[in-house]
Each structure stands twice: as structure tokens, then as C-alpha cells.
Chains A and B, each alone.
Chain A
Amino acid sequence: MAQDVIISARDVVVGFGDRLIINGLDLDVYRGEVLGVVGGSGTGKSVLTRCIIGLVPKRAGKIHVFGQDLDEADDDGHRAIERRWGVLFQHGALFSSLTVKQNIQVPLREYLKLSEPLMDEIARLKIAMVGLRPDAADKYPSELSGGMIKRAALARALALDPEIVFLDEPTSGLDPIGAGEFDTLIRTLRDTLGLTVYMVTHDLDSLARICDRIAALAEGKVIATGTMADMVRHPHPWLRSYFGGERARSAGIKG
């Protein structure tokens, strides 16, 4: 795999009030990989994700996405970057007053000038790609199951064919079979579309099955990055208990 850095974070500091959540964090994400971000509750996994996509301001440090500094980009620059990434929020964040088809077409309408028939075709294609049935197109989010909402939200995140997708706990709230199917879907889409996937997760199965690399967060920093084998061998106590525990063994991770 070419080591082409697509996201780089250097010395990032994020805090609320007098509490620093992230303190001097460095992280690189390479093009075409599936990176799993893990960490205990409150170690700032979600805060880091929201910081990279610009929802939470940082106090210090530099973040480059596609080689561009987000702080130096003007409004047009930001829009240009934002259309090259897609975000799947933890609870889907589908617009509840729009159908699935309309949800997928929101970014298309916003950024592109396309005819209605073509937008319908693209929505149909995205719905098929994420494994939803064609009749889901005209349903409202409240009529969908949890797994279908995640798939529909992924379809919306993929609407503009982004280069990076951010997934915030994509398999949380899904049953093990649904979670496994979702993992396979992400891997397939990565392989066919050449996506870079940045995934915050707690799911050891997902980590073991689809992540090329894992970054572990603790004490406001990335304490380790590497493959599953590197994680298992790492001496840090949190990593030892996380990857060496009962649940890890049942996920097929050998200590």
C-alpha cells in the first residue's frame, strides 16, 4: 500500500473549560486504508473525529486533510474539502422529514447541477450499493430499522463519491449478524471505490476483521498505532486489558 498521507494531525489540543480532552496528539491516516480508532470512554475518540471534520474547535496544532491546512482554507476551500469526505454519524442523523431518496439527494442538489432523472438513478445506485432494497427509497427514517438507518446514512455519506468516510461507531446498536454484514459492506466499498475509512469503534470483531491499522487513544494522545498483532503485544495496561480480555479472545484475537 502506498504510504500517501491523506489526513495528518500534529500537536492537536482540544479542551472544554479547564479540562483538556486531547493534549498534543499526532495521527496520520494513509490513503486507501481502514483505520480503526479505539479508546476507553471519555478518551476523546469522538472529540478527535469532530475536530478533524471541523465541528469542534481546537486550541492548538495543525490538521491537514488532502494536504491542505483546514485553518488556512477560506469558505470555498472548506466546501471543496467537505465535498470530498463523507460522515456517518453514530445515530445516522438522517433528516427525519425527508425520504431516504431525498436524504441521499441533499448533497447532490447542494453541490451539483444534475437533472431529476439522473439524480433518481444515482440515488437508486447508492441504495443498491449499500445493500438496501429498492423500495426503501421512498420510506421515511422513522419507518426504517436500526441497520437500515445506518445503511441509508452510509448511502448519503457516499452520495458525492468521497475519498474519505468517517464512521462513528458504525456497528453499535446492530445485532452481531447485522454488524458483520456492515463490516463486509465497508470493506467491499473500500475495495471497489478506493475509499479511505476512518472508523471510531468499540467493536473488537470489526477491528479484527476489517481494520488495516488501529490507533489507540489514551491520556489525550495516540499511545499506539499498528496492526492488531502490534496492539496485542503492546505493554500499555489499557491495551493489555482491552485486547487481552475475555471478549477479545471470543473475537478470535490471540494474545
Chain B
Amino acid sequence: MVSSRVEGSRLTVALAGVWNSETAGAIEAKVRSLVAEGGTPGAVTLDFSQVTRLDTLGGALVRAIEEGFSSRGVPVERTGLAGAAQTIYAEVAEGLAEPAPPRPAPKPGYVQALDKVGEQMLDAKGDLVALVAFFGQVVLAAGSIFTGKGRFRLAAVVTQLDRVAFRAVPIMFLITFVIGAIIAQQGIFFFRAFGADTYVVDLVAILTLREIGVLIVSIMVAGRTGSAFTAELGSMKMREEIDALSVMGLNPVEVLVLPRLIALVVGLPLLTIIGDLSALAGGAVVAQIYGNIPIDIFLQRIQEEVAHRHVWVGLAKAPFMALIIGLVACVEGLRVQGSAESLGMQTTASVVKAIFMVIVVDALFAVFFASLGY
């Protein structure tokens, strides 16, 4: 493979056998130790005469020996190079002739950590600015419909409504039914200790109508529809379809984003109504089984004790949640760059940000309605 002998001040490196991609792994360690232990002889001769095969990977290894010595100022000669090996080695030597571009030294750990924090802060600010700017574009596009410059795309809205709301009904029904049942069950165990079983009706009704119904539905929609919006717009962006729309004189926000947003703003309150009803149904079933509260008593108590305002508080939040989910999903979709990885990253970001913002906004609403005393 590789051996060396010293003759006076000259080091002769004899290369032998096969130097190709199959053997490169085995030879590399020997080459490294030869270069490390070779010191600084007066001159080095590379003897290729025993090499039976040489490819560019083997060539790169030989080149590493040459580099190792010549960087210490030792002149290197080659002998015995002929035929195909000569052509290939000439190609390797030419390809690697230009020195490797210097690599920036890695920054110390604490600087990298601070860098990351700084980048994240700037990203967060960028996100907020992008969201507000995008909301502006949406308002402009919506305005252009009223002034007659834009077109209201009813067919697109109906298609999106079908996907966003109608097809989501079964899953929303199931999830909220189970949530209502769980709340009722826990409530019964708690209130029974005080002999106040029937208060479970108030608990289930007020909690689901005000908070849980709209929250669960919004989170489901963010996961189900928000991710789909981001992926659709993102893959259209990747394939330049959005650019194609622009150069045809169409506003992508008006054509693609507005129908989706309208469908969400209409669809999410409808889903919330379904969610509220099925959560109450879940609560009623569990109240009957665990708490021996008949359905008619359950309904009567809701009518007597639960004010209408709880329904309105819950429903009033739904369009805002829809707007947040839709805006975040579309902004993230339009930010997708060329790669498949970027599409995945933006879809994840869309769902995470939408759910986060839905919960934060729900908390703000809670504070708002509490201070109104409503």
C-alpha cells in the first residue's frame, strides 16, 4: 500500500497496489501517520511505479501526502507515473491546485448562544411585522372587492367552506362530545362531595359555551386547516404558481388568500355552534349515567341558570380565532423557499404559532370580558 525509506536526507515514499474508492478508507490512516511522522527531510520522492490502479479518490490521498510535505517547505518529486494513472493524477493535481478557501473560525459558545437569542428576537419581530403587513394586504384586497376593482370569488369560497367546515363536522363533533363528557364526569365526582350534583350542569354549560368549545374547535382547525393552507400555498410558491398569478395581473391575496379567510371566518363560528351542542350532549349523557340527572332536568337547568351571554361570549371569539389562524397559515405558506425542508418547517411553524396565538388571544378575551363584568 504505502511504505517509506530514508536515503540520506531524501525520503522515498513507495506507493503500491490499488488506490481507489474501495481501498481509500484503509489507506487514509497510513497516509496521515506517514505525513505526521515524516518530519522535514531534505526532499521527498513519490514512487508510483508499483501502483496498479489509481482513481481520483486515491489521487486525493496521494495529493494529501504531497501537500503535507510541501506545506513544510520540502520539495516533492514524482517518479514512475505513467498511463491512465498519470492522466488521472494530473486531473487531481489541477483540480486541487487552488488552495481551499479559508474557513471562518468558529465563535466561542457563549457568543453563539447570544447570537441565537438575538436572531430569535429579530425573527419574532419580523413575524409580527409580516403578519401586520399581510393583514394590511388582505384589507386592501377586501376593499378592492367593495370598490369593484376586485372580484368576489363565490365558487372558491364555497369550495373552501366545504373543506374547512363541512368535512370537519364529524371530527369536531366527536372531540367536543368527549371533552364535554370528561368535564361532566370530573364535575360530578367533585360536586357529589357537597351534595350539589346538579351544579355539574352549570359547570359543563358555562365552561364549554364560554371557553372550551371555541378553544377546542380553533385548535383543531389550526391543526387541520391551517396546516393544509400553509402546505398548499407553500407548494404553489415553490412551483412559481404564485408568481404566475402575479404576472397575469391577478392579486394572489385576492385569488388565494381571501376566499380561504372568508371561508374560515364563516366556517369557524358554525363549527363552534356544533362543538358547543355536542359538548353539551356529551355532558348530558355522562350526567345521566354517573349522576342520575335525567336529560329533561339537565335541559331545564340550562334554561333556568345559564344566561344567553355565555353563548355570545363564546361565539364572538370564533371569527377572531379564524382570522388569526388564516392569517398565520397564509403568511407562513407564502414564506416557503425552494426546498422541501422549508415547506415542512413553515407548516410546523404555522400550526405552532396559530395554536399559541389562539390561546393567548383567548386569555386576552377572558380579561376583557371579566373587566366588562359580562
Chain A residues within 8 Å of B, Cβ to Cβ: 83, 96-97, 111-115, 118, 120-122, 124-126, 128-129, 134-135, 140-142, 158, 160-161, 191-194
B117 contacts chain A at the CB level, 8 A cutoff: no
**A83 CA to B20 CA, complexed, in Å:** 12
Query: Can you list 6 A-B pairs with a CB-CB distance of less than 8 A?
Result: A112-B57, A118-B61, A121-B63, A125-B92, A160-B21, A161-B57
B residues in contact with A134, CB < 8 Å: 98, 100-101
**A191 CA to B90 CA, complexed, in Å:** 13
Q: Which of the segments B228-236, B269-277, B332-340, B347-355 contacts the partner chain?
A: B332-340
**A97 CA to B98 CA, complexed, in Å:** 28
- Contact B56–A118 (Cβ < 8 Å): no
- Contact B55–A129 (Cβ < 8 Å): no
**A161 CA to B22 CA, complexed, in Å:** 10
B residues in contact with A129, CB < 8 Å: 56, 91, 95
A residues in contact with B96, CB < 8 Å: 121, 124-125, 128
B309 contacts chain A at the CB level, 8 A cutoff: no
B159 contacts chain A at the CB level, 8 A cutoff: no
B residues in contact with A128, CB < 8 Å: 94-96, 98
- Contact B21–A111 (Cβ < 8 Å): yes
B28 contacts chain A at the CB level, 8 A cutoff: yes
A residues in contact with B60, CB < 8 Å: 118, 121-122, 125
CB contacts between A and B, total, < 8 Å: 80
- Contact B61–A161 (Cβ < 8 Å): no
> Which chain B residues (1-56) contact chain A, with CB distance < 8 Å?
20-21, 24-25, 28, 32, 55-56
Q: Contacts A115-B32, A140-B338, A142-B338 given; indicate if A125 touches B21 (C-beta within 8 A).
A: no
Contact of B100 among A115, A120, A140 (CB under 8 A): A120
**A128 CA to B25 CA, complexed, in Å:** 22
Contact of A97 among B61, B63, B91, B340 (CB under 8 A): B340
Residue from A111, A124, A135, A191 having most chain B Cβ neighbours under 10 A: A124
B residues in contact with A126, CB < 8 Å: 56, 95
B288 contacts chain A at the CB level, 8 A cutoff: no
Q: Min CB distance, A137 to chain B, in Å?
A: 8
B87 contacts chain A at the CB level, 8 A cutoff: yes
Contacts A121-B64, A125-B60, A194-B84 given; 17 further ones with Cβ under 8 A?
A112-B21, A112-B57, A113-B25, A114-B24, A114-B25, A118-B24, A118-B60, A124-B96, A125-B56, A128-B95, A128-B96, A135-B101, A141-B338, A142-B339, A160-B57, A161-B20, A161-B57
Question: What is the size category of the interface that chain B forms with chain A?
Answer: 20 to 34
**A128 CA to B101 CA, complexed, in Å:** 13
> Which chain B residues (104-144) contact chain A, with CB distance < 8 Å?
none
B88 contacts chain A at the CB level, 8 A cutoff: yes
Chain B residue at minimal CB-CB distance from A80: B22
- Contact A96–B340 (Cβ < 8 Å): yes
Q: Min CB distance, B136 to chain A, in Å?
A: 28
Chain B residue at minimal CB-CB distance from A158: B56
Chain A residue at minimal CB-CB distance from B344: A97
**A188 CA to B91 CA, complexed, in Å:** 10
Q: Contacts A121-B63, A193-B88, A194-B84 given; indicate if A140 touches B101 (C-beta within 8 A).
A: no
B residues in contact with A113, CB < 8 Å: 25
Chain B residue at minimal CB-CB distance from A142: B338
**A160 CA to B24 CA, complexed, in Å:** 11
**A163 CA to B56 CA, complexed, in Å:** 12
Q: Min CB distance, A169 to chain B, in Å?
A: 20
Q: Min CB distance, A226 to chain B, in Å?
A: 28
A residues in contact with B304, CB < 8 Å: none
Q: Min CB distance, B25 to chain A, in Å?
A: 4
> Which chain B residues (322-340) contact chain A, with CB distance < 8 Å?
337-340
B residues in contact with A160, CB < 8 Å: 21, 57
- Encode contact with A along B293-313: 1 for CB under 8 Å, 0 otherwise: 000000000000000000000
A residues in contact with B94, CB < 8 Å: 128
Contact of B91 among A114, A122, A192 (CB under 8 A): A192
**A136 CA to B224 CA, complexed, in Å:** 40
**A134 CA to B339 CA, complexed, in Å:** 22
**A141 CA to B238 CA, complexed, in Å:** 13
- Contact B55–A161 (Cβ < 8 Å): yes
The 4 A-B residue pairs with the shortest CB-CB distance in the complex, in nearest-first order: A142-B338, A128-B95, A97-B341, A96-B339
- Contact B28–A118 (Cβ < 8 Å): yes
Contact of A161 among B21, B101, B338 (CB under 8 A): B21
**A121 CA to B31 CA, complexed, in Å:** 14
- Encode contact with A along B73-84: 1 for CB under 8 Å, 0 otherwise: 000000000001
Contact of B24 among A97, A112, A125, A135 (CB under 8 A): A112
**A96 CA to B92 CA, complexed, in Å:** 28
Chain B residue at minimal CB-CB distance from A120: B100
- Contact B339–A114 (Cβ < 8 Å): no
**A84 CA to B60 CA, complexed, in Å:** 19
**A111 CA to B21 CA, complexed, in Å:** 9
B residues in contact with A121, CB < 8 Å: 60, 63-64, 96, 100
**A141 CA to B340 CA, complexed, in Å:** 11
A residues in contact with B98, CB < 8 Å: 128, 134
**A121 CA to B58 CA, complexed, in Å:** 12
